[in-house]
Amino acid sequence: MAAEPALEVRDTRSAILDIAERLVQRRGFNGFSYGDVAGELGITRAALHYHFPGKAELGEELIIRYAARFFAALAAIDRQHTAAVGKLRAYTDLYLDTLRHGRMCLCGVLAAEHETLPGRMRHGVVSFFDDNQTWLAGVLETGRAQGGLRFPGDPEDAALMTIGALEGAMLVARIYGGTARFETARDRLIASFVASSSPIVPAPTAQDEDAYQIV
């Protein structure tokens, strides 16, 4: 019998995070309130404060949870693809899938609000992009060594450029609606990395996409 209240508490906490994440990805961190979340859940603000004393604590947990899913998706990509070209395409599809759900990258949205965020949230966003860049740089470096990818300069710089291009393409696509502009930018970005002798990378199957979805 004792397990039921514990389960209810856990479910409520997860529901709060789910709603808050969606609101951040669509409105920004400063674009929603505890009242918005409480209203959707049909609970009081006091109940929200029971789980998260303040909005800063809620924001910190959102970053931790989102980063865990994102890097679990990267681990799945590593397992499913041996060629760096395939990993690069699968990586860009993480962003595309998020956009298809009418959302933005959570940490990309928070980065745009960086100056207004609490300190620990700022640190979490920076850590997310640092780890993201490190993984992608490793893929690019391996791809160049394999002969499947080509780019000038340092892999870390190329990774930073890639992340910035994808985040920016999401923003532009969002204001026009749909994903067409993002997909065009994504395809050109991948083409700029692919060596002429490399095989064309097929689009992932539905099963592949499910394995590393983050939304």
Q: What is the mean pLDDT of residues 131-153?
A: 97
What's the pLDDT score for residue 112? 96
Query: How far is the C-alpha of 21 from the C-alpha of 18, rounded, in Å?
Result: 5
Which stretch of 60-74, 79-93, 133-147, 193-207 has the lowest confidence by average pLDDT?
193-207
Q: What is the dihedral of CA 37, 40, 41, 47, to 10 degrees?
A: 40
CA dihedral sign of residues 175, 179, 184, 186? positive
Closest alpha carbon to 142 in 181, 193, 202: 193
Instruction: Provide the pLDDT confidence category of residue 70 given band limits of 50, 70 and 90.
Output: very high
Closest alpha carbon to 120 in 45, 64, 160: 64
What's the pLDDT score for residue 195? 73
Q: What is the mean pLDDT of residues 111-136?
A: 97
Q: What is the mean pLDDT of residues 170-186?
A: 96
Average pLDDT, the chain: 90
Query: How far is the C-alpha of 150 from the C-alpha of 32, rounded, in Å?
Result: 43
Structural domains in the chain, CATH included, are 63-211 (1.10.357.10)
Does residue 3 register a pLDDT over 70? Answer: no
194 phi and psi angles, rounded to 5 deg: -80, 125
Instruction: Provide the pLDDT confidence category of residue 200 given band limits of 50, 70 and 90.
Output: very low
User: What DSSP line would sit under 79-142, residue for residue?
Assistant: HH--SHHHHHHHHHHHHHHHHHTT---HHHHHHHTGGGS-HHHHHHHHHHHHHHHHHHHHHHHH
